[in-house]
Amino acid sequence: STAVRSKQAKQFDWAMDKFNSSVRRTGRITKTLLLHIFHDICRTGYPSGNQALLLLRSCGALLPEVPPANRSELAHHIWEKLQELGAQYDVSHYNALLKVYLQNEFKFSPMDFLAKMQAANILPNRVTYQRLIAAYCRNGDIDGASAILGFMKSKDLPITEAVFNSLITGHACAGDIESAKNILTVMRNAGIEPGPDTYVSLLEAYAQNGDMENVKATLETAESADCSLMDRDIMQVIFTLVKAGHHQHAPEMVERLRHERGYIPDAMNMCLSLITHGHEDTAFHMLKSFPTLQMDNVSQDPLNLGNFFLRHCVTMETPLEKIGQYCKVLQEANLHTSPLTFALSCALETRKTSMSIEMMKMLKDQKMPVRPHFFWPLLTPHVKDKNTIVKAMDGLGVDPDVDTLSNYVFPAFPSMEEAQHSLKTNPFFLCVSPHPEETAFFLYNLIESLPKREAQAQEEKLRKYFSQLREQVQALDHLEGENTLLTLEKKLEELKSENKPLSSTLKEILLALSAEENLQRALELKQQHEEEMTVPSYAILINLCCLHDNAEEALNLKREMSRKDSSMALDTSKYIALVRTLSKNGKVEEAVDILKEMKEKDVVLGDTHVISLFHIFNSMRSNGGPDAIRRLQNTIFTLGLAKPTTSLCSPLITAYLDSNDLPGALDAAMECQKLYKQLPRIHDIVVALVEQGDTEKLQKVMDFVSQERGEMRMLYDLFFAFLQTGRYREARKIIETPGIRARQTRLQWFAEKCVAAKRMEPLEQMVEITAKLFDCDRDEMYSYILRLCKDTNDWQKAEATWTKMQEENMIPREKTLHLLADILRNNGQEVPFKVPEVQLRLRYRPLLLNIDKSGVSLNPATYDQVIRALLAVGEMEDAMVVKDINVYGYLFTKVKPLLHFPDALLSLKSVLESNRVPSHLAVRRLLQALSSQGNLASIQEVENLMKELSTPLNLSPMLFINNTALAQIHNGDVDSAVEMIESIYTNPNSRSGSISYVFRKVLENGNDEAFDKLSAMAERLANHFACYRPALDIFLELLDMDKVDDAKFMLARCNAVAEQRDILMAYLTKKDLESAKALYEQMQKEGVEVDELSLKRLASLYCQAGETVPFIEPPVKFVCYCEFN
């Protein structure tokens, strides 16, 4: 039915998102997730082609924790089951199955596979033939591969790099390594330059034979050919070495790994595959090479390196002696706090009884406690063997407690009498003693539940309260009805003859004339009734003059108005119109005066006014030039009328580019970055420099961008410039830079730029070059090509893109398939896949109501978009319902924390009681407001409310600690704040974070007494407890506030702060030269080694300031990316 298919589509969207997220973050999925999706699809009974493709693709290398044979078996099961349920397979499904066979090294007959496709009336395509060739070559069958090559040539299909790579593998497997090597020459003769995959194929051929000399030589050849191999490529070679039995060479190759960004997930998958294939020793060697800082960022726990490794060892039933040895090494190296306990938990989760009991014995041998609840997972499945488990407990000296007996042991007895008899006859059971913590736990939960029931009793009162609020927040209708101009003028004459006030009627006439844009008549009236002119009437006239671009008259009227009443101000829109007219007519200084008046009279600019400023600057490019734009920009930013943004800064750069003044544009862009932290139109500047071949200026701008915005930003700027100018080889070298990862928003930006300009070649090149880029959304990349294909009606390109997508073995989203199908149908072409059904109408209201009931808090922008969409299709009633859903969240996050703290707390409680979840921002703002008032009781109340949440917000404990300390300081109780903070940092069981927020607020408020006491505490913690975080926080805050001398004094008092290298180096990359000098000098005194990258960054700071670098600058240059013709 339609409802079932609709539900299925939603479930698949969820599954697809979950799948994509897992693959992009980790490069793998779990078998549990795969089976969950599979069973959901089977239950609905309507499998789509795209769902089948997703499931089939997942049965290969994406399951490193499952043995290859089991993966192939699962693929066949999924294929047959979905076919039974009516799934329609096309060539993409057969190609996906072929890929799974290759990844799982499944033995099959390529010719039988082709016959199977023919029987199903499915025509093979280029991807099919390429994978069949790969299948033959894996078995060393060059004749079979040649037969498929013949098919391809007869159909005029191109022979790609992938085919040559397979032939290298085929010759190597046939024992003809020389022929494998000669394939590279054949490729070059065919006009195909060997890429990284080609060199990897050759490396694997040598690795299969353990020929390390040729492996090293090939690596050098690839490097000299500017073909950079990534860590994942080296891992493939390591895997081949180990599988071929050459374990002794693995450590040497592991040392070649550069630990690029994305190394951790790739290395984890490598370790899992090695364990799955029984090579856990090599996997453990890989594990020990993991950079621990990167692991910290992934896990947010500094001492749990190897959890995934231990878990998989347990799953694969690695010998217990090995697991014990691994745990011992991890603990001795301080890489894991309790590896054996974690391994035991894994064994218990997987119900491995004998392994679990042996691990408990190992724990006991290490003098570690074994608790009764350790045995619960083992007791649950063992209905008949519970006595065995209890005996094992007895052997380990563990007494079963009340819960163990009542929940797990007694239910195994056929009757209560037999259980009582066992208690009487077995003195072992009599040793059970009740534990007082059980009673405390029960009472705690009982007391905790009481406030919730009381709050529910007040539910109607709270609802009534919010209902009253909604009634009060309503817009007043404006009175309508206007008199005609003729009637008004007649009325004016009557009032004048009766000597009555004219100002009100005069204003109405001016308004009517303004609507008709009749400036001449309006000025005549003003001349006739000068004495009756009021400020509002002047404002109308000024706006009308601006509309007619009459700058002189507008300025005179403004001066007259100020003489009448200098305290009165125009509204914001009229001020902006006046500034526009004056600047457009060359009266820049007069416009500056108007801006200064706006500041004096506290005129506030909204978003629309800021957009108007952008258009004003843009209009000045031709008649004012860069100097005029800069004058106006500096005034606006200095006065604080608007915050500097890229869009507001860009017209200045555009003015220089329009006049072909590239050095001026570059200097202006760098000036904007230094003054306003904005870098406008840097892409256009870099493109112009690349086109001119000006390597000196290009190096200058790249060094500047790297220093100011980071190396990743610099690399992407260079990457896009190379793409736009057709230097694709240089662009590829950028993406092969170690450590680079996908920045999806930047890739989207360039793709949108290509689509808008209808530039297919750079877009195609970008998609191809980023194929192996870590965390790159491949479906989105290909969707941009298809969008451009649709715009240009190029169905052949769209069809070729579909083939490339299959080559890459990616799963397109439904919207991508619809887009491709539309292109083909519009051009009368057959669609080579089943098109997913379209859900014609999205029912926002039930969906949002369900989300609302579940307590999930959506972003306000989401509600805004839904309301707009509903209004666009005339669904007024549904739009009002959505508005009512969001009213609580709006009142709480926007109004209450900023105005009335008691009401804010009440709003928070009502939000929680209505099963809603407040936003992080709302809670944070509320706590900051409460701390600024010294309201300790309310901060504690908020903390308790957050603990009661059924859906945790994952707020940092330091949020409450910092605000509690600030509240105590506000109340004059500095000693309590110091005592609380000190107790947290000296507690060995607490995980303390940063308190820099406290120091910053104290410094901003000029509270010297509190700062002195906090500084003394930080010194005491550093010198007596080796706890350096508070001292480090003070040091960095002092640098932030330009208190360099105080920071040096702090460093002198706490020398060990300089040893906190990672945080300090991160700080150095974004701070000024004086701060960096102070830090570098102290590190030199303390003998702390500074790496080359940090020295390069420091050298850049010296060069920027025009000072001599006092050390040898490391040769880190980016000009190597720029190879100009």
Q: What is the pLDDT of residue 889?
A: 44
What one-character-per-residue DSSP string does 560-593 give?
HHHHH-TT----HHHHHHHHHHHHHTT-HHHHHH
Question: How deeply is 830 buried, as exposed, middle or buried, from its count of CB atoms within 10 A (0-12, 13-18, 19+)?
Answer: exposed
User: What's the total number of domains in the chain?
Assistant: 1
Is residue 552 in some structural domain? Answer: no
Q: Which helix (H) or strand (E) holds 42?
A: helix 31-44
- Torsion angles phi and psi, residue 336, rounded to 5: -150, 135
Q: Would the pLDDT of 466 be above 50?
A: no
- Token pair recorded at residue 683: 């892409």
pLDDT digits (tens, 9 = 90+) for 635-671: 999 999 999 998 899 999 999 998 889 999 999 999 9
712 vs 543: CA distance, rounded Å = 48
570 within domain boundaries: no
Domain-located, residue 379:
yes
Is the predicted pLDDT of residue 439 greater than 70, yes or no? no
Domain assignment of residue 641, yes or no: no
Say yes or no to pLDDT of 472 above 60. no
User: pLDDT tens for residues 328-354?
Assistant: 999 888 888 889 989 988 988 888 888
In a domain, residue 420? The reply is: yes
Q: Residue 840: is its pLDDT beyond 50?
A: no
What band does 97 get if pLDDT is binned at 50, 70 and 90?
A: very high
Spatial neighbors of 604 by CB under 8 A, at least 6 apart, are: 572
Q: Which residues contact 75 (CB under 8 A, 6 or more apart)?
A: 56, 59, 60, 97, 100, 104
DSSP, res 541? H
Q: Rounded to 5 degrees, what are φ and ψ at 811?
A: -105, 115
Q: Where are the alpha helices (DSSP H) in 873-1007?
A: 876-890, 896-899, 901-913, 920-932, 936-947, 957-970, 974-986, 996-1004
pLDDT reading at 841 higher than 60: no
Q: Is 361 a residue whose pLDDT tops 90?
A: no
Q: Positive or negative, the Cα torsion across 732, 737, 741, 744?
A: negative
SS3 label, residue 336: strand
- Contact in structure between 1013 and 974 (CB atoms under 8 Å): yes
Q: What is the pLDDT of residue 366?
A: 82
Phi-psi region of 947 (alpha: psi -120 to 50; beta: other; left: phi over 0): alpha
Give the model's confidence band at 861: pLDDT under 50 very low, under 70 low, under 90 confident, else very high.
low
* Pick from 1117, 1038, 1105, 1024: nearest CA to 1072: 1105
Q: What single DSSP character describes residue 693?
A: T
- Identify which of 136, 71, 145 has the alpha carbon closest to the alpha carbon of residue 103: 71
pLDDT band at 142 (very low <50, low <70, confident <90, very high): very high
* Residue whose pair of structure tokens reads 């195994």 in the numeric block: 412
- pLDDT at 107 (0 to 100): 93
pLDDT bracket for residue 464 (50, 70, 90) = low
For the residues of 231-297, what is the DSSP string, one character each?
Answer: HHHHHHHHHHHHHTT-GGGHHHHHTT----TTHHHHHHHHHHHHHHTT-HHHHHHHHHTS-HHHHHH
Cα–Cα distance for residue pair 23/396, rounded to 1 Å: 43
- Using alpha carbons, select from 221, 224, 223, 219 the residue that is nearest to residue 237: 219
* Residue 684 CB-half CA count within 13 A: 19
The SS3 call for residue 1096 is helix
Whole-angstrom CA distances from 203 to 221, 238, 406, 421 are 11, 10, 62, 71
| Cα dist from 220 to 214, 260, 327, 391, 441, whole Å | 10, 19, 38, 63, 65
Beta carbons within 8 Å of 261's beta carbon, 6+ residues apart: 738, 739, 740, 741, 774
Q: Looking at the predicted structure, is the pLDDT value of residue 319 above 60? A: yes
- CA–CA separation, 961 and 957 (whole Å): 6
The residues with which 336 forms a beta bridge, in sequence order, are 304
* Cα–Cα dist 1054/435, whole Å: 47
CA atoms within 13 A on the CB side of 578: 30
31 is a domain residue: no
Whole-number Cα distances in Å, 198 to 160, 194, 209, 249, 664: 11, 6, 18, 22, 46
931-958: pLDDT as tens digits = 888 888 888 888 888 877 766 667 788 8
Local confidence band at 418 (pLDDT 50, 70, 90 cut-offs): low
Whether 52 maps to a domain, the answer reads no
Say if CB 170 and CB 137 are below 8 A apart.
Answer: yes
Sequence-separated (6 or more) residues with CB below 8 Å from residue 666: 685, 689, 697, 700, 701
| CA pair distance 445, 451, nearest whole angstrom | 11
Res. 39: pLDDT tops 90: no
The model's confidence at residue 740, banded by pLDDT at 50, 70 and 90, is: confident
Tokens representing 745 are 């928003």
Q: Which domain holds residue 387?
A: 372-427
Does position 482 have pLDDT exceeding 50, yes or no? no
DSSP letter (8 states) at residue 640: T
State residue 783's pLDDT score: 94
Per mean pLDDT, which of 38-52, 132-146, 502-516, 688-702 is the most reliable? 132-146
59 and 75 in contact (C-beta within 8 Å)?
A: yes
Question: Which tokens hold the place of 988?
Answer: 């060995």
- Select the highest-mean-pLDDT range: 242-251, 807-816, 831-840, 1023-1032: 242-251
User: Which distant-in-sequence residues (6+ apart) come within 8 Å of 675 by Cβ?
Assistant: 637, 644
SS3 304: strand
First to last CA, the chain: 63
pLDDT of residue 122: 92
Collapsed DSSP state (helix, strand, coil) of residue 933: coil
pLDDT at 258: 85
Can you tell me the mean pLDDT for 232-261?
Answer: 91
Average pLDDT, the chain: 80
Q: Which two tokens stand for residue 788?
A: 């451009």
Identify the top-confidence range among 234-248, 707-721, 861-875: 234-248
d(CA 657, CA 618): 13
The pLDDT of residue 144 is above 70 = yes
Residue 396 lies in a domain: yes
Under a CB-based contact definition with an 8 Å cutoff, are residues 661 and 629 in contact?
no
- The pLDDT of 702-721, averaged and rounded, is 89
Q: How sure is the predictor about 695, in pLDDT bands with cuts at 50, 70 and 90?
A: confident
pLDDT at res. 751: 94
- pLDDT at position 1123: 37
Query: Cβ distance 135 to 780 under 8 Å?
Result: no
- Residue 304 bridge partners (DSSP): 336
* Alpha carbon distances (Å) from 1050 to 104, 1044, 1081: 60, 10, 14
Residues with Cβ within 8 Å of residue 736, at least 6 apart in sequence? 196, 228, 230
The two structure tokens encoding residue 754: 């290509």
